[in-house]
């Protein structure tokens, strides 16, 4: 009989193989976690850097005029600096790290490529099992941010974020009809909305009020949402006034008006505005019409602002005016019809007794109240974004459409 073969020690081999497998599995898990963490950190740095660059493009006014090489350089420098502040620069945090900033970008997928900044962070990540010199230990993060077109889509918005009462006033003899968009009132006052007459919204749209409304009629057919607590950002904040380069000083005689700089008042009469930018500057200057005046214009932007001494012009379409104005359909201010400088706080008035005003485009007055007054006044407009609104004894109809309203810009992370 053959002796039995000694099989002692086989269990030790199996245990050793098992332990080695477990060590490899744990090591791979650790390496995967390190790579994930490295890429996530690099991505956060790339996102922040791209956003910083896009913010500079926005702040320098690039969406409204062609960026110069100096402005692009400032944007790319801001992106590079922000990446460095977050720990990513050449050979930082590890040897072989690179940060590449590009503006404009090559892709048109996000709109105008001249308004975008791309940041690519490539960095080796030190791993436990895989040597750092191996190519697959290098992580790459890409981010694209742009000064992107933005319009919150509100037909009427009161940007007053204080707790002021009567941020929107609608008197008993007036009416407010809103189509194609919502109403937003940012004031936190319990009487932010004060409406005694008729308020009508299209089905599916609502009046959103951060504080409350008192009094407030039954809104038909939309519903009123009060105490929302959700302040909505001014969609056009930061919009610069149009450049005056190439605009000549003009006189206020009529009937034909030309684009340019006006330091005078267009008074009662009949006027036609030819397409372009109309900049009104200075105290007691601007547009002040009543008494059966007529004002027409296509493809225009009316900008109400200060003179060099800090005095503001004004805009008023008063009693029995008949104004038919249309904003430009192309260019950086497409859809913006009337823009009152945020520093100018005097009322912007559309509509007086018997007035019939048809205004196609957005009215933007972030520092002022837009007033619709006058018995039998009828005013139609595409959009109103103002500090406050007052529909006193007029009939105001707002028909919001993205095709006729202004689209502002805000920095936004696109990828």
Q: Which of 87, 86, 122 is nearest to 101 (CA)?
A: 122
Cβ(233)–Cβ(152) under 8 Å?
yes
Of 150, 166, 183, the last residue of a domain is 150
Cβ(234)–Cβ(159) under 8 Å?
yes
Split at pLDDT 50, 70, 90, the class of 21 is low
**Residue 43 confidence (pLDDT) above 90:** yes
Q: Per-residue pLDDT tens for 294-309?
A: 999 999 999 999 999 9
Structural domain span for residue 123: 12-150
Q: Is 6 within a domain? A: no
Phi, psi for 112 (deg, rounded to 5): -65, 115
**Residue 289 confidence (pLDDT) above 60:** yes
Q: Domain count for the chain, please give it.
A: 2
Q: Is 329 within a domain? A: yes
**Residue 18 confidence (pLDDT) above 70:** no
Amino acid 254: pLDDT? 81
Say how far apart CA 326 and CA 349 lie, in whole Å. Answer: 17
pTM of the complete model: 0.84
Q: Is 63 within a domain? A: yes
Amino acid 288: pLDDT? 93
Split at pLDDT 50, 70, 90, the class of 382 is very high
**Residue 75 confidence (pLDDT) above 60:** yes
Cα angle value 34/37/41 (rounded, 5°): 140
Average confidence (pLDDT) over 95-114: 93
Q: Is 3 within a domain? A: no
Q: Is 5 within a domain? A: no
| Residues 55 and 171 placed together within one structural domain of the fold | no
| Residues 181 and 46 placed together within one structural domain of the fold | no
| Residues 281 and 331 placed together within one structural domain of the fold | yes
| Residues 111 and 211 placed together within one structural domain of the fold | no
Q: Is 38 within a domain? A: yes
Cβ(277)–Cβ(301) under 8 Å?
yes
Split at pLDDT 50, 70, 90, the class of 1 is low
Amino acid 218: pLDDT? 66
| Residues 141 and 274 placed together within one structural domain of the fold | no
Of 103, 125, 150, the last residue of a domain is 150
**What is the Cα 112 distance to its own chain's centre?**
16
Mean pLDDT of the chain: 87
| Residues 121 and 197 placed together within one structural domain of the fold | no
Q: Which residues contact 78 (CB under 8 A, 6 or more apart)?
A: 52, 53, 55, 56
Q: Is 204 within a domain? A: yes
Give the other-Cβ count within 10 Å of 221's Cβ. 11
Using CB atoms within 10 A of its CB, is residue 1 exposed (0-12), middle (13-18) or buried (19+)? exposed
| Residues 227 and 355 placed together within one structural domain of the fold | yes
| Residues 108 and 229 placed together within one structural domain of the fold | no
> Cα torsion at 229, 166, 223, 183 (round to 10°)?
-80
| Residues 201 and 114 placed together within one structural domain of the fold | no
Amino acid 2: pLDDT? 58
Q: Is 65 within a domain? A: yes
Amino acid 356: pLDDT? 82
| Residues 158 and 200 placed together within one structural domain of the fold | yes
| Residues 245 and 335 placed together within one structural domain of the fold | yes
Query: From start to end of 197-330, where are the E strands?
Result: 198-209, 220-226, 249-250, 256-257, 260-262, 265-266, 270-273, 276-281, 286-289, 294-298, 300-305, 314-317, 322-326
Amino acid 150: pLDDT? 84
Per DSSP, 325 falls in state E
Average confidence (pLDDT) over 170-180: 86
Q: Per-residue pLDDT tens for 115-150?
A: 999 999 999 887 766 555 555 678 899 999 999 888
More confident residue, 336 or 380: 336
Of 109, 131, 150, the last residue of a domain is 150
Instruction: Dig out the tokens for 300 from the structure.
Output: 């225009």
| Residues 218 and 351 placed together within one structural domain of the fold | yes
Q: Per-residue pLDDT tens for 185-236?
A: 999 998 998 888 888 888 888 888 898 888 877 665 555 665 677 899 899 9
Split at pLDDT 50, 70, 90, the class of 4 is low
């Amino acid at each position: 009989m053959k002796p039995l073969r000694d099989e002692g020690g086989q269990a030790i081999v199996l245990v050793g193989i098992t332990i080695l497998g477990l060590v490899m599995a744990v090591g791979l898990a650790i390496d995967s976690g390190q790579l994930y963490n490295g890429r996530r950190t690099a991505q956060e740095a790339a996102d922040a850097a791209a956003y910083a660059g896009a913010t500079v493009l926005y702040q320098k006014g690039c969406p409204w005029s062609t960026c110069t090489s100096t402005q692009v350089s400032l944007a790319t420098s801001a992106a590079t600096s922000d990446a460095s502040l977050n720990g990513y620069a050449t050979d930082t945090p590890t040897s072989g790290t690179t940060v590449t900033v590009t503006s404009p970008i090559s892709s048109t997928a996000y709109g105008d490529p001249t308004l975008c900044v791309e940041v690519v962070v490539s960095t080796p990540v030190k791993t436990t099992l895989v040597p750092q010199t191996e190519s697959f230990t290098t992580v790459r993060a890409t981010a694209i941010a742009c000064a992107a077109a933005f319009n919150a889509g509100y037909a009427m918005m009161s940007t007053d974020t204080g707790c002021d009462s009567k941020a929107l006033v609608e008197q008993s003899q007036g009416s407010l009809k809103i189509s194609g968009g919502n109403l937003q009132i940012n004031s936190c006052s319990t009487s932010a909305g004060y409406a005694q007459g008729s308020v009508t919204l299209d089905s599916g749209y609502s009046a959103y009020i951060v504080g409350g409304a008192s009094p407030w009629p039954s809104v038909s057919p939309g519903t009123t949402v009060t105490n929302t607590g959700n302040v909505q950002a001014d969609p056009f904040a930061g919009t610069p006034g149009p450049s005056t380069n190439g605009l000549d000083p003009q006189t206020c005689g009529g009937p034909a008006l030309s684009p340019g700089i006006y330091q005078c008042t267009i008074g009662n009469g009949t006027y036609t505005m030819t397409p372009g930018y109309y900049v009104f500057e200075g105290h007691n200057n601007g547009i002040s019409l009543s008494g059966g005046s007529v004002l027409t214009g296509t493809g225009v932007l009316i900008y109400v602002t200060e003179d060099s001494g800090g005095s503001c012009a004004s805009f008023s379409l008063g009693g029995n005016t008949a104004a038919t104005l249309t904003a430009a359909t192309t260019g950086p201010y497409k859809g913006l019809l009337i823009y009152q400088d945020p520093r100018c706080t005097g009322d912007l008035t559309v509509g007086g007794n018997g007035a019939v005003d048809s205004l196609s485009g957005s009215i933007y007055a972030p520092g002022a109240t837009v007033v619709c007054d006058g018995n039998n006044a009828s005013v139609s407009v595409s959009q109103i974004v103002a500090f406050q609104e007052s529909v006193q004894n007029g009939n105001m109809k707002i028909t919001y459409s993205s095709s006729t309203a202004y689209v502002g810009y805000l920095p936004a992370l696109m990828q």
